[in-house]
Homo-oligomer: A and B are copies of this chain.
Amino acid sequence: MCGIVGITGVPDAVSVLVSGLERLEYRGYDSAGIYVNDQSGQDYLVRRVGRIANLKSALTPAIKGITGIGHTRWATHGVPSETNAHPQYSADERFYLVHNGVIDNFEQLKSEYLADVKFQSQTDTEVIVQLVDRFVVDYEMDTRAAFLKVLHLISDDSSYAFVLMDRQTPDTLYVAKNKSPLLIGIGEDFNMVGSDAVAMLKETHTFMEIQDREVVTVQPEGVVIRDFDGNEMKRDTFRVDMDASAADKGTYPFYMLKEVDEQPVVMRKLVQEYLDDEGIPKIDPKLLAQMKAADRLYIVGAGTSYHAGLIGARLFERLTGISTQVFISSEFAYEQPIMAAKPFFIFLTQSGETADSREVLVNVKKQGWPSLTITNVPKSTLSREASFTLLLHAGPEISVASTKAYTAQVAFQAILAKALGMAMNKENAANFDIKQQLGLVAIGMQAIVDSKDELESIASRYLSQPRNAFYIGRGIDWSVALESALKLKEISYVQAEGFASGELKHGTIALIEDKTPVIGIITQDRTANLTRSNLQEVVSRGASVLTIASKHLSQPDDTIVLPDVDPLLSPLLSVVPAQLLAYYTSLGKGLDVDKPRNLAKSVTVQ
């Protein structure tokens, strides 16, 4: 859950590393550091706690190099401190290593091989770099061989992307990966490596994949890829045509607000990409044929993507009649339920790099089950590895709290469910006018984002003080309540919980105190009165009750009234006020909305 960049063969490695790290900051921002070597005997290590900005202000013109590695950290072992920041180095200051991932058996390696070594940090990474040093210095192995030996000693469950430098071969990056993402960038007279293409787009648009359990040496004049048995591997390159400056927040104070505002455009973009003039979905018939053959759909995701999947399951069941289940990826990875005979897997991941989901995909492939990745990032790991990939076209999402990717995932699943239902001749699907409905959704979203002043004042009145808060709803509104609560938690640090309205009274209602905010989501005919009854129960205990209700179900004292759309698509509207309430609560508290504490955008550890 960190970001890595490395380069060799340029006059100013420092500025390449820093600008690459800035683009990777979404992967973690507990600390950052670089190591550069000028290949004439001078080298520099600079590390700082906190954002890249702190690192940047510590750099002087004297610090320069031709080859170097950089790292931005999301802490897994050891508190965020300068000592625990990367690059980590060996005690003799010969080897420098950046690492993204978790080494499960680092304690065992430490006690087995390095019992006599004094460690400076609490990181698993320092164990690895000291171990390379041990094999080189004490066992007289060459660096590549020592590196490979260490890789063999690391347990299979571990995850890593490593870039290693050796002062004695200062033009070379030693690279390997397992489960964590890492790409090679190919230049003229230089080559580089990074966690994500975006970190290298200023320098190159040509890339090369590295697979798990390969060892790569990167030098200015070339890249050599070998498998663990030493066989040299051939690898094609591919181009990424994205513009490095696509992600720019313009006049917005925070990316999140920009991304919330972009949602109506994203809806229209999905209509344009995936529906023809008659509103019929344009989806690969081969994909639909495989989905149609399934007796059960399995949707897998983490965090916000999991919440989008909960909505998706309702859409698939209603429009196709295929039984659909949703799983948290970190759970499904380690305990499969009794499986259907012909499962089809749908992976939801904004970044396409979520380690927990990838763990599931690896196993799904092993069992020969077909899969689809729905992602926002072309060429991402999960998009490359699934049987099929479809893109969300939501544009770069920079804010850590996901907004437009969530609504894009929900809307896209509706399109796909309609396509599949039509392929199965289901009446529900044929009658579902997705094009008209997404048009109404876009207009409705616009109306909500245009009422920002009102949402800001609601946030400051009800949400700025309390220690806790609840979103409640039933059915599809419950799924939205979970996502709404997560938004509030993530960026405003209010301990919010999303609850099935009917379940609150079975214990959790004990937490309701005078003025505890309880926000009811009411968009479904069948359950509207029941949720209102549950709100009465908490009013009776002193709660401050707010409501987000669809127009046709609204009552005079509802707090927020949503335009009417097909009830299956109501999440696309009901979540938007919740996003903005979270935004303004965070803003009102003076927090960094885009980069909440402890988090990283793309979660590439398990």
Contact = CB atoms under 8 A, between A and B. Distances in A.
Contacts of A356: 502
Contacts of A597: 510, 541
Interface in A328-352: 328-331, 333-335, 337-338, 340
Within the oligomer, what is the number of copies of this chain?
Answer: 2
B478 A75 contact: no
A417 to B, nearest CB: 13
A468 interface: yes
Contacts of A306: 503, 506
A140 interface: no
Contacts of A600: 505
A594 interface: no
Interface stretch (A47-55, A195-203, A237-245, A315-323): A315-323
A141 interface: no
A594 to B, nearest CB: 13
A529 B303 CA distance: 21
Interface string A65-104: 0000000000111111000000000000000000000101
Nearest to A600: B505
Contact of A330 (B77, B302, B474, B508): B474
Contacts of A508: 486, 489-490
A489 B501 CA distance: 17
A511 B467 CA distance: 11
A168 interface: no
Contacts of A530: 330, 334, 606
B533 A511 contact: no
A427 interface: no
Contacts of A605: 505, 533, 537
A512 interface: yes
B537 A76 contact: yes
Interface string A575-601: 000000000000000000000111110
A507 interface: yes
Contacts of A251: none
B510 A331 contact: no
A211 interface: no
B323 A599 contact: no
A489 B505 contact: no
A77 to B, nearest CB: 5
A415 interface: no
A524 to B, nearest CB: 8
Given A157-B529, A334-B527, A511-B489, A503 B317 contact: no
Given A328-B502, A501-B330, A529 B475 contact: no
A603 interface: yes
A540 B500 contact: no
Interface string A150-161: 000000010000
Interface string A494-537: 01010011110111111111000000000000110110010011
Contacts of A222: none
Nearest to A491: B510
Contact of A506 (B475, B512, B540, B603): B603
A478 B331 contact: yes
B495 A467 contact: yes
Nearest to A538: B598
Interface string A428-469: 000000000000000000000000000000000000000110
A493 to B, nearest CB: 6
Given A76-B540, A536-B77, A303 B510 contact: no
Nearest to A303: B506
Most buried by B among A76, A306, A491: A76
A401 to B, nearest CB: 8
6 contacts: A76-B536, A157-B529, A304-B506, A328-B502, A331-B503, A505-B600
Given A79-B541, A331-B500, 6 more contacts: A75-B540, A76-B540, A303-B506, A323-B338, A489-B507, A509-B598
